[in-house]
Amino acid sequence: MAAGYQVLREPLWNKGLSFTPEERKSKNLTGLIPHTIESLQTQCARAMKMIQTRQTPIDKYLYLSSLKDQNVDLFYRLVMDNIRELMPLVYTPTIGDVCLQYSSIYTRPEALYISIKQRKSIATMLRNWPFPNPEICVVTDGSRILGLGDLGLNGVGISVGKLALYTAAAGIHPEKTLPIVLDCGTNNETNLKDPLYLGLRQKRVSTTMQQEFMDEFMAAVKEVYPEMVVQFEDFETEKAFKYLDRYRNTQKCFNDDVQGTGAVVLAGYIGAVDLSGVPLEEQRLVFMGAGSAGVGVAKQLMEYYTRRGLSEQEARSKFWLVDTKGLVTRDRGDNLAEHKKYFARTDNNGLQFRTLEEVIAYVKPSALVGLTATFGVFTESVVRALKASVDGGGLGRRPILFPLSNPLTKAECTFEQAIQWTEGTAIFASGSPFSSVTVDGITYHPNQGNNVYVFPGLGLGAILAKASRVTDEMVYNSADALAKSLTADEIHKGLIYPRIERVREASLVVAREVMKAARRDGVSELPEEQWVEWEEWGDVALMSYIRQRVYDPVSFGDARVRL
Ligand SMILES: NC(=O)C1=CN([C@@H]2O[C@H](COP(=O)(O)OP(=O)(O)OC[C@H]3O[C@@H](n4cnc5c(N)ncnc54)[C@H](O)[C@@H]3O)[C@@H](O)[C@H]2O)C=CC1
Ligand SMILES: CC(=O)C(=O)O
Ligand SMILES: [Mg+2]
């Protein structure tokens, strides 16, 4: 086949109509594309027009996905420049639907699909990946995809979506990203009965078998791609905690749902406390949902309290966790899962509280965090009771209300409800994006409290620092950096996260602080002279180092082209 045609068929080489006249000659492209030369911006305008003609989010996703498969630079320029409109398509909420339908809409491979039947050849499969030395992988076993439960192999969509954001939001080169699904079977009957289902048609293997498989996978990663950072994503609760504990001290890895979510919620909480009028020490937090995200977030917030001088005991006493059985207490009479024990209350004098209303009446919280994967559990009476308990502490105080479950169909309440039921006073963040709401001529803007503000920068920082581990200090500093990354205008507008248009700017700041934390913890394997130089020149020099290493597609004819 002629070389020119191959250039056009290779998504990482194809520049569409942005090839220069010289490139068209040297690559034998003349005649194969229209004569006109277009900037990436013009090509983006065409693509946006096409997206707008597509009717459903899935159709728009499929268009974007095929664009990525044809012209990687165009796809990323488009997503980066239209992130508010397109992130909900390549990520939550649409990616949830994509995962539900993955086997039906599948057209081409886009990840490594490793099944437990192939466990003896994991290293070979890793070597089969066509691009050299990936720097970051997002791996899931599909067992708890967003709030949608066990989706088996179909969960691979979340690995693909998260990695698209590693590139769009932190500038990791697309060639350096590796999505993986570990297929260990599924307990999802709909998938098992679906003739088009692409995964293993069997129930999930035992935890012992999966543990051995994970050990083999992690050993293969160490052997084949020793530099690669591994992000564990959407493993069901017990495995999420277990694998993190098992590998975190020997390999470069972190769990996004436990640590990334912990950091993003901490960053938002810092801003929210400032806006609430309730001092940090007086805040009382009820967590609805005591799973990997709930406990991960509570631990990260506790760390904040202890760094501000509270004892562990005092810090822990600020948190009340609630699950399907009610308030988590030591004497509740059920066999508490290991991860719930740390926050189980012991000061309840034998009283038990089954419903969220009962818990709110008892605790009188100032903040309510939802990580239940259950739509609508923040009812009108719950939200009004939250507001009343905050009002009780003094006028002008505002409740913190974070329904964080994904996708939108699993949100604990909507933004509109939050505004109506709190007379516009709620400091609100949700996992998936809601639109602004106007009531009585006042427009309210929601925040998106999603780990997308953390994982891209955390991963980039770990990669650029050549960190041998992802330490707690690195995770904590990702939150601290994010909290400090708001502009004066964003603070003035009452936001608690940077506007999504600035996610990339914020991610680079997060990456910088994560690198410095890696250095402080002694896990950065960069040469000593490099750090000495940055320590002398400060953040500006380090930031310029980061900026030089990030992917930012530009083309001939663009105003932004770098000479
Ligand atoms: N905004 C963000 O960045 C993130 C959001 N999430 C979301 O958080 C949700 C939970 O994720 P995980 O903690 O990993 O799941 P999980 O399965 O580990 O935990 C769910 C918890 O919610 C509790 N629960 C379920 N239904 C409930 C109900 N009706 N009332 C009270 N408690 C109930 C369960 O008992 C369990 O403790 C998911 O929807 C996920 O999408 C997770 C990570 C990041
Ligand atoms: C955002 C995310 O990681 C989740 O919902 O699981
Ligand atoms: Mg997740």
Q: In this model, does residue 562 exceed pLDDT 50?
A: no
What is the per-residue pLDDT for 395?
77
Atom number, ligand 2, closest to the C-alpha of residue 450: 1
* Residue 167, ligand 1, Cβ within 6 A: no
Q: Tell whether 472 is in a known binding site.
A: no
Q: Tell whether 71 is in a known binding site.
A: no
> What's the whole-number mean pLDDT along residues 525-536?
96
How many Cα atoms within 13 Å fall on the side-chain side of residue 152? 25
> What's the whole-number mean pLDDT along residues 474-494?
97
* DSSP summary character for residue 257: I
Q: What is the dihedral of CA 60, 63, 69, 70, to 10 degrees?
A: -140
Burial 86-97 (b: 16+ CB within 10 A, else e): bbbbbbbbbbbb
Q: In this model, does residue 427 exceed pLDDT 50?
A: yes
Q: Tell whether 234 is in a known binding site.
A: yes
Q: What span, in angstroms and rounded, lies between the C-alpha atoms of 518 and 110?
A: 32
What is the per-residue pLDDT for 563?
33
* Residue 431, ligand 1, Cβ within 6 A: yes
* Residue 451, ligand 1, Cβ within 6 A: yes
* DSSP summary character for residue 345: B
- Measured from CB, residues less than 6 Å from any atom of ligand 2 are 92, 146, 234, 256-257, 406, 431, 450-451
Report CA Rg, the chain: 24
Give residue-wise pLDDT tens across range 286-319: 999 999 999 999 999 999 999 999 999 999 999 9
- Joined together, the tokens standing for residue 485 give 């990354």
Average confidence score pLDDT of the chain: 96
Preceding amide of 93 cis, omega within 30? yes
Give residue-wise pLDDT tens across range 145-164: 999 999 999 999 999 999 99
CA angle 398, 403, 405 (to 5 degrees): 165
What is the per-residue pLDDT for 3?
83
> What's the whole-number mean pLDDT along residues 238-248?
98
* Residue 322, ligand 1, Cβ within 6 A: yes
| Domains of the chain (ranges, CATH numbers) | 3-81 (1.20.1370.30), 94-251 (3.40.50.10380), 259-450 (3.40.50.720), 454-549 (3.40.50.10380)
Give residue-wise pLDDT tens across range 453-462: 999 999 999 9
* Residue 457, ligand 1, Cβ within 6 A: no
Minimal-distance CA residue to ligand 2 atom 5: 146
Q: What span, in angstroms and rounded, lies between the C-alpha atoms of 272 and 446?
A: 12
- Nearest ligand to the CA of 292 is 1
Residue 46 makes CB contacts below 8 A (sequence gap 6+) with none
CA angle 236, 130, 508 (to 5 degrees): 60
Give residue-wise pLDDT tens across range 316-366: 999 999 999 999 999 999 999 999 999 999 999 999 999 999 999 999 999
Residue 295 makes CB contacts below 8 A (sequence gap 6+) with 241, 258, 321, 339, 340, 342, 343
Preceding amide of 279 cis, omega within 30? no
Residue 2: band (very low, low, confident or very high) from pLDDT cuts 50, 70, 90: low
Residue 554: band (very low, low, confident or very high) from pLDDT cuts 50, 70, 90: confident
Q: What span, in angstroms and rounded, lies between the C-alpha atoms of 401 and 418?
A: 8
Secondary element (H or E) of residue 230: strand 229-232
Q: Active-site residue numbers?
A: 91, 162
Distances (CA, A) of 430 to 106, 359, 418: 30, 22, 11
Q: In this model, does residue 202 exceed pLDDT 80?
A: yes
Most ligand 1 atoms within 8 A of CB, residue of 372, 401, 432, 434 to mutate: 372
Q: What span, in angstroms and rounded, lies between the C-alpha atoms of 406 and 398?
A: 24
